[in-house]
Amino acid sequence: MNRPLSTRPLSTRSIAAARQLAGMCVAALVVGAPLARADEATSVRGTSEVRTDAGDGGRGSGPKVSGLIPGVLIGPRLSVAVPAPTVGAEVKILRFVGASFDYAIFPKITISGVDVSYSMWNVAARVYPFGDVFFVGAVYGHYGVDATATVAQGTGSVRASSDFLGPQIGARWIQESGFFFGVDVAWAFPLSYRSEASPDPSGTTTSVKETADRYLKNGIPLAGLISVGWLF
């Protein structure tokens, strides 16, 4: 069986790049969250009415803390993320508790002659221990990866999928208007990983399955490099 030599190096570089991006997100959180907290504390001391005047709906010279529902902020979000961009929604309740939903779908792309597509959804529960920017939480969801190889001798396919669960950390900077931006990173540990292949005569899909099994069984990074949205 002739196995392509380009599949494994490409996958190794992709995994290494994803882990490097996740590491950069963690570093940004470690450096940025304390600074943002200190800046917010200074703003609150100078304008105490921001969090004490319930009649203004949480609006003032500080971050928005209440919206259409008293004590609750909820709205849509778009994230430039790894391994794929996501759309979703999130909610923050009484400053200290939050939740989110994300859905990602990556259009079919061709890598070394193999058509690959990816889809994912997840829900997350969060706690804001300081009631402001920084949060910790957990994420649960499901992903699927489909690959199809078409060669002169025939066609083969690969399907890998799993439910997952993992820890998450991140930060959200909410403006007075309700606009927010942030970053987050999680590691999705597989709960029920499974894969199957319909081999093609060249052995390409068999090689892809072996590579997927080697890396996906260890989990995947979920890194929101930049998230923007609006809370009402």
pLDDT in tens, 29-72: 444 444 444 444 444 444 444 344 444 444 456 899 999 999 99
* Residue 1 lies inside a defined structural domain of this protein: no
In DSSP notation, 67-94 reads -SBTTEEEEEEEEEEESS-EEEEEEEET
* Residue 52 lies inside a defined structural domain of this protein: yes
Number of domains in the chain: 1
Domain that residue 35 falls in = 7-230
* Residue 178 lies inside a defined structural domain of this protein: yes
> What pLDDT band is residue 19 in, cutting at 50, 70 and 90?
low
149: buried, middle or exposed (CB in 10 Å: 19+, 13-18, 0-12)? buried
- Lookup: tokens for 63: 């971050």
Residue 139 is part of a domain; what is its CATH number? Answer: 2.40.160
**What tens digit of pLDDT does each residue of 132-154 get?**
999 999 999 999 999 888 777 77
The pTM of the full predicted model, rounded to 2 decimals, is 0.72
* Residue 138 lies inside a defined structural domain of this protein: yes
* Residue 82 lies inside a defined structural domain of this protein: yes
* Residue 122 lies inside a defined structural domain of this protein: yes
* Residue 2 lies inside a defined structural domain of this protein: no
Least confident of 34-48, 110-124, 203-217: 34-48
Residue type, 63: P
> What pLDDT band is residue 12 in, cutting at 50, 70 and 90?
very low
Tokens 């304390």: give the residue: 34
